[in-house]
Chain A
Amino acid sequence: MNKQIITASVCLLAALSVAGITGKNFMEVKKPDELRPGPGVTQTKMLSDYFPDIAGTNADSTVYVMEGEQPGGKMLVLGGTHANEPSGYLAAITFVESGKVEQGTVFVIPRTCNSGFTHNDPQEGSPQYYTIQTKGGPRQFRYGSRAANPLDQWPDPDVYVHAASGQRLSGSETRNINRTYPGRPDGTLTEKASYAVRQLIDTEGVNLTFDLHEASPEYPVINATVAHETAMSIASNGMFELQMAGIAMSLEPSPTNLHGLTHRELGDYTDTLPLLMETANASQGRLRGKTNADLVLTGKDKCYVKAQKLGFLYVPYDETGHPIEERVGRHLQGIYEYSKAYSAQYPESPIVYNGLPSYQELFLDADPSELGGTQLGKYLN
């Protein structure tokens, strides 16, 4: 055998080895995180139960049903709409693992855009996972992408035209589930996923819907609740309570000319009252420094501290960062206050639950050395 064939074969073997090792890793990140539902979960369904077309695809996702002993209203919690916004994902998981519904029914989807969890955004240097020490030991949680995996839906158009309104957006937004509502049964995979969420709301008669997000510290809509006009009344009442709990939260009306988002389309196309909440996440920001799992969990970032001093940010930012407990705590307290306001306004269909930590317990009263995952882990199984 001549030298040329030998060296070519060695190179080929090396390439196959690299492809094998990296391929194994890419396959592993597609496996969903193991969730450990608490006794509050009475039933587990799939999104495809409401729209069978997505069965067997990466758009399908688990729906945790938490039914109270007494009848009441119905609430939907959407976590993981954007898989690179961990507080929404972890708040939904905390609900599933620690919550117990007394009156009414709560539906929780921790991975609303399941496909987004199967990859990372290119060139962002995002961590694949972050680890939290929980009651049951260390657990890994996936950090994903804002959009669905292009392997699941391609090619992106140059311009994404929102089907229901004709609104034109950047082509990559075609894979952003929060630009595809109300969805279409014969649309793209992401449109089918949002259509499935809408079907769930219609089929189950969901009264109140929360969509949990995070935003870059330099983005104006942050530490905010965005409410459809039909939900503005309960949002206003809940806001007073949040202020009393020491949570600075702004209330933004859902723009009538911004389409495809939950707070607009679910209010327009279904009977649910939609609310969207945003917390501050440095790991998805443009001004961040070193990007790793620690940044995801602590929010500590020298670049953002400097950016704050230069007046570039819309949230306070100092050396203590914005730990995951603060961000998850804001979501959980927000859900609590808004659902309480809903129950007061609609006493015939109250939604009452317990078992979840308050903002005070999760963040304000925590030992500072335990912020960044350890404190939150006390409420995860």
Chain B
Amino acid sequence: MITLIYRGIIAIVMSFTVWNLYTEKKIALQANAAIVLIPLLLRLLMIK
């Protein structure tokens, strides 16, 4: 159960990060958001 809640939190943070990626005007900050997505995705899928 705790793992499902944890993954739910990650999914929410990911959705905010993707939203930030598409609303951010500076390309450096877009890249920053994209980099943040990598570990979030790997953890959401429980790969790493």
| A26 beta carbon closer than 8 Å to chain B | yes
Which segment, of A5-13, A75-83, A87-95, A217-225, faces chain B?
A5-13
Given A11-B21, A19-B41: A26 and B31 within 8 A (CB)? no
- The answer to whether A7 and B42 have CB atoms under 8 Å apart is no
- Listed in ascending order, the chain B residues whose CB lies under 8 Å from chain A are 2-3, 18, 21-22, 24-25, 27, 30-31, 33-35, 37-38, 41-42, 45-48
| Cα separation A16 to B45 with both chains bound (whole Å) | 13
A14 touches B34 (CB 8 A): yes
Among the listed B2, B27, B35, B42, which residue makes an inter-chain contact with A23, where contact means beta carbons less than 8 Å apart?
Answer: B42
Asked whether A27 lies within 8 Å of B47 as measured between CB atoms, the reply is: yes
In angstroms, Cα B36 to Cα A12, docked, is: 10
Name the distance in Å between B26's Cβ and chain A's nearest Cβ: 9
Q: A4-B25, A7-B27 are in contact. Are A12 and B34 (CB under 8 A)?
A: yes
Q: Is the CB–CB distance between A8 and B21 below 8 Å?
A: yes
Closest chain A residue to B39, Cβ basis: A19
Q: Is A151 an interface residue (CB 8 A)?
A: yes
* A13 to B: closest C-beta gap in Å: 9
Partner of B42, one of A11, A14, A19: A19
Known: A11-B33, A15-B34, A15-B37. A22 touches B21 (CB 8 A): no
Is there contact, CB below 8 Å, between A26 and B35?
Answer: no
Of the residues B18, B27, B31, B37, contact of A19 by C-beta under 8 Å? B37
Q: List, in ascending order, chain A residues with CB within 8 A of B33's CB.
A: 11
Chain B residues with Cβ below 8 Å from A8 are 21-22, 24, 30
> Contacts A7-B27, A8-B24, A11-B31 given: A26-B42 contact, CB under 8 Å?
yes
In terms of DSSP, what is the predominant structure of the interface of chain B?
Answer: helix
Known: A8-B21, A8-B22. A18 touches B47 (CB 8 A): no
Please name all residues of chain A whose beta carbon is closer than 8 Å to the beta carbon of B45 when the two chains form the complex: 23
Q: How far is the CB of A315 from chain B (nearest CB, A)?
A: 35
How far is it, in angstroms, between the C-alpha of A119 and the C-alpha of B6 when the chains are bound?
20
* A residues 108-145 touching B (CB-CB < 8 Å): 119
Q: Which residues of A contact B47 (CB under 8 A)?
A: 23, 26-27
Interface contacts beyond A4-B24, A11-B31, A16-B37: sample of 5 additional A-B pairs, CB < 8 Å, sorted by A:
A4-B25, A18-B38, A22-B38, A26-B48, A155-B2
A8–B38 CA distance with the chains assembled, in angstroms: 15
Given A12-B37, A18-B38, A151 and B46 contact (CB-CB distance below 8 Å): yes
Q: Which residue of B lies closest to A15 (CB)?
A: B34
Residues of B within 8 A of A18 (CB): 38
- What is the chain A residue whose CB lies nearest that of B41? A19
CA distance A154 to B48 in the complex (A): 13
